[in-house]
Amino acid sequence: MKRISSCIVMLAVMALALTGCSGRSEIPSDWYNETLEYYSDGFEDGWSNERGDLNIADEMKDEDNKFGYLLRDLDGDGSVEVLIGYMDATDITRFIDVFIWHRDMGSFRILHAGDGYYIYLCENNILRMDKWYGSKTTTDYMKYDSSDNSFRILDDETAEPQNCGLTAF
């Protein structure tokens, strides 16, 4: 009986190790390459490759905008997040998509904006999201937390958007 119990415990430990549930898994250093390739190809061929699960905002199809990405460790955990964005005639960096590394899903788009919703990077890696509803604008300030892959809404926060240097696609 003791031998059977030991075998069951060993099998359970091996199963957890194989499924990645035994703790924080290693984040590949190049986890975002496939995502960046998708956007690069899209900008190059006019988005004929657009996937249903990664719809592209109209702003990202406007050839007058300057498109690019920013790799930034938003929460200080040592792993970068990927911000996809553009600069238009206002010279303000607007972000449309934010990707993270998700332990179970790999590269994962956690925020999507555009068409009246805009994300800006502010000091201290705070994200500002502006939303327009007709003539009304609302603004939320958020901070990313990788421990549960969420954005905390910050009360009583104000911050100005930073003009970020984007790496062009």
* Average pLDDT score over the chain: 84
At a CB cut-off of 8 Å and minimum separation 6, what does 52 contact?
Answer: none
Q: How many CB atoms lie within 10 A of CB 37?
A: 11
**Residue 33 tokens, joined:** 């390459």
Among 67-71, 85-89, 162-166, the range with the most confident prediction by mean pLDDT is 67-71
**Residue 101 tokens, joined:** 């590394």
What pLDDT band is residue 14 in, cutting at 50, 70 and 90? very low
What pLDDT band is residue 12 in, cutting at 50, 70 and 90? very low
Q: How many CB atoms lie within 10 A of CB 166?
A: 18
The full set of domain ranges for the chain reads 28-168
- What pLDDT does 22 receive? 36
Residue 124 burial (CB < 10 Å; 0-12/13-18/19+)? exposed
Is residue 20 predicted with pLDDT exceeding 60?
Answer: no
In the chain, the amino acid numbered 79 is: S
Cross-strand pairs, 117: 131
At a CB cut-off of 8 Å and minimum separation 6, what does 48 contact?
Answer: none
At a CB cut-off of 8 Å and minimum separation 6, what does 153 contact?
Answer: 140, 141, 142
Lowest mean pLDDT among 8-12, 27-31, 99-103, 109-113: 8-12
Torsion of CA 107, 24, 29, 32, to 10 degrees: 10
Is residue 125 predicted with pLDDT exceeding 70?
Answer: yes
Whether the pTM exceeds 0.85: the reply is: no
